[in-house]
């Protein structure tokens, strides 16, 4: 059995699709649905059961699953970069993750989990995965993910069957429930269709013009392919960046979406909330040298190719979900 936490979420539900496409249905989805519309991500997907995270952890620690779990793919987390309740984030993103990994290590269960490029902060010291001096979390969410990465490193779990994947800016189908945390690709599509103008934050850094702040935008289909290859190669362990390795600007994102829609890429630059300005990342770009040395490396799609597939085959389609 595969345990998939966050299985109703954005990346999790896309990975569940990848598993189903490979004929794998013995998947225990661990997620909290609440009032979120993310339940739609599970429609037409096949899995063993759906259970909330707290109940799952209790059953796990009580030994109810015996030796039935082969691998835990831990994608569940609170991902709101504006969340101010640090204790809440630490409990959800750090303490819960520690409990799962301790169980996995004790039971010799492979453990694959999601980290975030937010842990690099400004990235002024580069984006090498295991150079801990380059980590500079700028918000509470990034801090909670950094805590777990470093805890795994300190306990030498990366030397066993544990894999951490540092996701950069992921976009693609099934992200519709994320609200303010949805990708700029999705937001640009909505704004161009409704108002014809996309709103981007002004730059407050002298090295970057408005809209020329750069991120590494990676298509979710490529992300789940890396996850799939990690699953199929249990000999791989360690911490790996997952991005295209090419930084692109927010203006590039808007132009890419506008090209698919056949409209002018009209952009309005607006003030960034003052409380966000000190924690804003102006540049991220995955260093892929470690991933390239593994069989999990994929040929990442360019921004233009990924955006065209997403917009044309999902956002403009009646079948929006993957």
User: Which of 89-93, 240-244, 252-256 has the least mean pLDDT?
Assistant: 89-93
| pLDDT average, residue stretch 141-157 | 95
Is the predicted pLDDT of residue 80 greater than 80, yes or no? no
Strands 71-74 and 2-5: parallel
Share of the chain above pLDDT 90, in %: 89
What is the distance between the alpha carbons of residues 144 and 186, in angstroms, rounded to a whole number? 26
Instruction: Tell me the average pLDDT of the chain.
Output: 95
Distance CA 183, CA 189 (A): 10
222 near 18, Cβ under 8 Å?
A: no
Q: pLDDT band at residue 222, thresholds of 50, 70 and 90?
A: very high
Least confident of 4-13, 38-47, 120-129: 120-129
Catalytic site residue from 120, 141, 310, 314: 141
pLDDT exceeds 80 at position 81: no
Closest to 228 (Cα-Cα) out of 46, 14, 39:
14
Overall average pLDDT of the 218-231 stretch: 98
Question: Could you confirm whether 141 is annotated as catalytic?
Answer: yes
Contacts of 196 (CB under 8 A, 6+ apart): 263, 264, 266
Q: What is the mean pLDDT of residues 294-321?
A: 96
Query: What pTM, to 2 d.p., does this model score?
Result: 0.95
Q: Give the pLDDT mean for 93-120.
A: 96
pLDDT value at 82 more than 80:
no
Class of domain 2-170+218-243+286-300: alpha beta
- Long-range (24+ apart) CB contacts under 8 A made by 91-94 are 92/144, 93/141, 93/144, 93/145, 93/147, 93/148, 94/144, 94/147, 94/148, 94/151
Please list, in sequence order, all residues whose beta carbon lies within 8 angstroms of the beta carbon of residue 113, skipping any fewer than 6 positions away.
73, 74, 75, 97, 101, 148, 162, 163, 164, 165
Model confidence at 279, pLDDT cuts 50, 70, 90, reads confident
Confidence tier at 227 by pLDDT (50, 70, 90): very high
Which range has the worst mean pLDDT, 129-133, 160-164, 307-311? 129-133
Average pLDDT over residues 43-70: 96
For the record, the structure tokens of 200 come out as 């981007």
What is the model's pLDDT at position 304?
98
Residue 176 has pLDDT above 80, yes or no: yes
Cα–Cα distance measured from residue 183 to residue 104, given in angstroms and rounded to the nearest whole number: 32
Task: Please pick, among 178, 269, 282, 321, the residue that the annotation labels catalytic.
Answer: 178
Query: Domain extents for the chain?
Result: 2-170+218-243+286-300
Please give the pLDDT value at position 278. 86
Reply yes or no on whether 35 is catalytic: no
């Amino acid at each position: 059995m595969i345990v998939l936490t966050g299985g109703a979420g954005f990346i999790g539900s896309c990975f569940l699709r990848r598993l189903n496409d490979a004929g794998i249905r013995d998947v225990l989805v661990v997620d909290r649905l609440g009032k979120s519309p993310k339940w739609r991500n599970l429609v037409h997907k096949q899995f063993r059961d759906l259970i909330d995270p707290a109940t799952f952890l209790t059953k796990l620690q009580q030994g109810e699953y015996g030796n039935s779990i082969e691998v835990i793919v831990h994608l569940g987390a609170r991902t709101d970069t504006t969340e101010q309740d640090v204790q809440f984030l630490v409990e959800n993103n750090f303490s819960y993750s520690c409990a799962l990994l301790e169980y996995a290590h004790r039971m010799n269960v492979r453990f694959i989990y999601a980290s975030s490029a937010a842990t690099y902060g400004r990235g002024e010291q580069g984006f090498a995965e295991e150079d801990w001096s380059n980590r500079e979390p700028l918000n509470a969410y990034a801090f909670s993910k950094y805590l777990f990465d470093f805890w795994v490193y300190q306990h030498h779990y990366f030397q066993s069957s544990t894999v951490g994947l540092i996701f950069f800016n992921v976009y693609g189908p099934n992200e519709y429930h994320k609200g303010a945390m949805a990708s700029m690709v999705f937001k640009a599509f909505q704004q161009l269709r409704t108002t014809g103008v996309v709103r981007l934050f002004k730059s407050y850094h002298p090295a970057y013009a408005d809209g020329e702040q750069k991120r590494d935008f990676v298509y979710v289909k490529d992300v789940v392919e890396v996850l799939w290859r990690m699953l199929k190669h249990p000999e791989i362990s360690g911490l790996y960046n997952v991005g295209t390795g090419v930084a692109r600007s927010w203006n590039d994102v808007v132009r890419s979406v506008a090209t698919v829609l056949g409209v002018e890429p009209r952009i309005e630059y607006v003030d960034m909330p003052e409380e966000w300005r000190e924690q804003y990342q102006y540049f991220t770009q995955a260093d892929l040298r470690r991933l390239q040395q593994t069989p999990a490396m994929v040929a990442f799609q360019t921004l233009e190719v990924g955006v065209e597939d997403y917009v044309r085959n999902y956002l403009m389609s009646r079948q929006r979900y993957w």
